[in-house]
Amino acid sequence: MTSYPRVGSGRMPKTQDRVNLPYTEAVIYEVMRIASVVPFGVAHAARVDSSICGYDIPKDTTVVISHWALHNDPKHWDQPQVFNPDRFLTPEGKLAPTPQSWLPFSVGNRACLGGPAAKQELMLMIPMILQEFNLKLPPGVAADYSPEASGLTGYMANKYLITAEKRSA
């Protein structure tokens, strides 16, 4: 008989469980922050002459969001190089509102249409995997969150051999 991940009374996770898994969601958000999949957002054009933080942006100037820079800016993130899911939680352990400087799916009319679906899928798959397996790095291997390769199209995480140990029923 197939063994399925357990939530509560031995059942598979459902989308309704998301509200009861704030730390899991915070971990997913922190992964998306520290390892931005797409370094740059879709190009936009300024519709009018603008000024932002003392910089003049003439009409029709191409403007691109650097997700990596936004997600690693020490003005917005305390110790941005440190993996810390707690930054997405309230002191009571509830999921906090996401900061304005967290934009893994971009923003505005050109935001990723799949963002909400991706978050829902991750909130189903990650608990399933973690309930079924203990995931570990090999002895002596430290996590390195810097990208192994990057470019305009996206980042590639460092390659790790991980150990997935089946949890006991």
Q: Express each pLDDT in 4-17 by its tens digit.
A: 334 655 678 888 88
Q: Provide the pLDDT for residue 3.
A: 43
DSSP 46: -
Please provide the size of the chain in residues: 169
Q: Are 99 and 29 in contact (CB under 8 A)?
A: no
How much is the pLDDT for 132? 85
Write down the pLDDT at residue 112.
86
Give strand pairing partners of 52: 55
How would you classify residue 58: left for phi > 0, otherwise alpha for psi between -120 and 50, otherwise beta?
beta
C-alpha separations of 87 from 26, 52, 104 in Å: 8, 27, 16
pLDDT digits (tens, 9 = 90+) for 42-62: 888 999 999 988 999 999 999
pLDDT score of 93 more than 50: yes
Q: Give Cα separations from 46 to 42, 53, 157 (angstroms).
A: 13, 15, 33
The pLDDT of residue 169: 65
State the Cα–Cα distance between residues 39 and 104, nearest whole angstrom. 9
Q: How far is CA 110 from CA 11, 40, 166, in A?
A: 37, 12, 41
- Pair of tokens at residue 16: 């309704």
Calculate mean pLDDT across residues 135-139. Answer: 88
* pLDDT above 90: residue 99: yes
In this prediction, residues 140-146 reach a mean pLDDT of: 78
Percent of the chain with pLDDT over 70: 85
Is 2 or 127 the better-scoring residue by pLDDT? Answer: 127
User: What pLDDT does 97 receive?
Assistant: 96
| Whether residue 150 has pLDDT greater than 70 | no
Classify residue 100 by its DSSP letter: T
How far is Cα 88 from Cα 85, in angstroms, rounded to an integer? 6
Question: Is the pLDDT at 1 greater than 50, yes or no?
Answer: no
